[in-house]
Amino acid sequence: MLKRTGRLFVALGLVLTLLSGCSLPGLSGPAENTVTLGTMATTESAIVGNIVRLMIEKETNLNVEMIENLGSSTVQHQAMTSGDVDITPTRYTGTDLTGALALEPETDPDLALKRVQKEFGKRFDQTWFDSYGFENSYAFTVTRKMAEKENLKTVSDIKRVASDLSLGVDSSWLKRKGDGYEGFVKFYGFEFGRTFPMQIGLVYQAVGSGKMDVVLAYTTDGRIKAFDLVTLKDDKRFFPPYDASPVARNDVLEKHPELRDILERLAGKIDTDTMLEMNYESDVNMKEPTTVAREFLEKNNYFK
């Protein structure tokens, strides 16, 4: 999976270069006394990346260089293994289990976290830290009016009315094997009356305006709040967990042990509602991710 609401411009040259296994001129690794953070081309990654950056700048004598707009978790991973990036502030368990590790999906969040932590240490000499406390996963989403009218709280609740409902989803999810639509129908035992493939950026407006009855959204997307939507609990746990954590190279942690303390202190400090609110502030209220990150740290007394 990933997916995520994003900043508009991807550094295409960096993406292609990293995927080819080469470093860009001037990016042959961080300079002395400098730590490099690599963030994806998403609002969420930019916000969390700036939280980490501000904490490092506040609490250490290190300089921080940001490499932004990496196009995917695959590019992030390649940047880490090539030594161009020291820390990737947002990595997701479900994504890297099937991506970087090429393992089978795991539905238990604790087991998924333990597997990526063990395998990243063994295969890549990297530390996968405990989760920030939020998960950015798929979620079936309806308007508050429909949730109240049909008493919808869980995905299982949809079954009794599904044949009358239209579903708008990311085009790729309809065709994807495993945790795509075909797998969902077999797992939950029902299908929707009509399905409409859409660009992910359009699903929120589609359900909010009544053009779709149900859409597949992302749990920390700020547009859920903007359109006053309700996410339904995946009560049978069909979707793999996508808990977010920072990942750091062990050689960097050994050279700068103070980084470990900073990253460990963020574990459990950002829940899903908080991350959604921060995404909302940036995507809907148009605040810069750096501003949103600073406000979070100030509110939670990290700068005292």
Q: Which CATH architecture has domain 138-231?
A: 3-Layer(aba) Sandwich (3.40)
> Residue 43 half-sphere exposure, CB side, CA atoms within 13 Å?
25
What would the pLDDT profile of 18-58 be if each residue is shown by its tens digit?
Answer: 444 444 433 445 567 899 999 998 999 999 999 999 999 99
- CATH class for the domain made up of 34-135+241-300: alpha beta
Strand pairing of 34-40 and 126-128?
unpaired
pLDDT over 90, % of the chain? 79
What would the pLDDT profile of 71-106 be if each residue is shown by its tens digit?
Answer: 888 999 999 999 999 999 999 999 999 889 999 889
Domain boundaries, the chain: 34-135+241-300, 138-231
pLDDT for position 31: 66
Rounded Cα gap, residues 275 and 175, in angstroms:
29
Rounded Cα gap, residues 184 and 265, in angstroms:
37
Per-chain mean pLDDT for the chain: 89
Rounded Cα gap, residues 173 and 117, in angstroms:
27
What would the pLDDT profile of 191-216 be if each residue is shown by its tens digit?
Answer: 999 999 998 889 999 999 999 999 99
One fold for 34-135+241-300 and 138-231:
yes
3-class secondary structure per residue, the chain: CCCCCCCCCCCHHHHHHHHCCCCCCCCCCCCCCEEEEEEECCHHHHHHHHHHHHHHHHHCCCEEEEEEEECCHHHHHHHHHCCCCCEEEEEEHHHHHHCCCCCCCCCCHHHHHHHHHHHHHHHHCEEECCCCCCECCEEEEEEHHHHHHHCCCECHHHHHCHHHCEEEEEHHHHHCCCCCHHHHHHHHCCCCCEEEEECHHHHHHHHHCCCCCEEEEECCCCHHHHCCEEECECCCCCCCCCEEEEEEEHHHHHHCCHHHHHHHHCCCCCCHHHHHHHHHHHHCCCCCHHHHHHHHHHHCCCCC
Q: Is 229 exposed, middle or buried (0-12, 13-18, 19+ CB in 10 A)?
A: buried
pLDDT for position 12: 42
